[in-house]
Amino acid sequence: MTQATPSQRTYPWTTTMGDRELTFRLMEPSDRDAILKFARALPTEDLMFLRSDITQEKTVDSWIGYIKSGRTLTLMSEAEGKIAGYASIHTNDALWTRHIGELRVLVSVDYRGIGLGKRLTNEAFAIAKDMGLKKITAQMTTSQRGARQVFEHLGFRPEALLADHAMTKDGRTHDLLLMSYDVAGFHDAAASA
């Protein structure tokens, strides 16, 4: 079945990355169990730093609820019948922040380093732009050094550092880094307006 985003970008489609064949499509409520399986197979280090605990059924159920209501849009990539990664854009219709989307990207360990995170992010950017969003944010702790480097490669810039703002499952606090990406030069346009 053909899927379309609010701006009529269409999925699914399949491409080759490295020597892997990957299919890109939008997440649907029927993906609940596959997402739980994907999340539960992540290494402890990744699980420690998840923004929300997607190994829990109730968390995935509320994610699906946001997809149904249109507040979240998730693009996923599959290979050999399993989820290889996803990128989600989370929006908030509060008046002041309605132009902002938060990006969450997660790629399974087996598919890292072949450009999948970048491809998912670029697709998510295109969708965000079509949705009229002006600024994309990503949040990570300062301990996630690899993630920060990846996001810098993707064009994100550090914007704020919040001390002890994140608490991992083990009860330890971490400084939270807020990075942002200016969709289509919005910041420059806003500054000169």
Ligand X SMILES: CC(C)(COP(=O)(O)OP(=O)(O)OC[C@H]1O[C@@H](n2cnc3c(N)ncnc32)[C@H](O)[C@@H]1OP(=O)(O)O)[C@@H](O)C(=O)NCCC(=O)NCCS
Kindly tell me which of 153 and 172 has the beta carbon lying closer to ligand X.
153
Q: Which residues contact 38 (CB under 8 A, 6 or more apart)?
A: 82, 83, 108
Contact 103, 151 (CB under 8 A): no
**Minimum CB separation from ligand X for residue 57, in Å?**
21
Kindly tell me which of 83 and 105 has the beta carbon lying closer to ligand X.
105
**Minimum CB separation from ligand X for residue 138, in Å?**
5
Strands of the chain, DSSP E: 3-4, 10-11, 13-17, 20-26, 72-79, 82-91, 100-107, 135-141, 157-167, 173-182
Kindly tell me which of 140 and 166 has the beta carbon lying closer to ligand X.
140
- How far apart are alpha carbons 139 and 160 in whole angstroms? 10
Residues that bind ligand X (CB under 6 A): 46, 104-107, 112-118, 138, 140, 144, 146-147, 149-150, 153
**Minimum CB separation from ligand X for residue 149, in Å?**
4
Between strands 135-141 and 157-167, the pairing is: unpaired
Residue nearest ligand X (C-beta atom): 117
Kindly tell me which of 26 and 116 has the beta carbon lying closer to ligand X.
116
Between strands 135-141 and 100-107, the pairing is: parallel
**Minimum CB separation from ligand X for residue 145, in Å?**
8
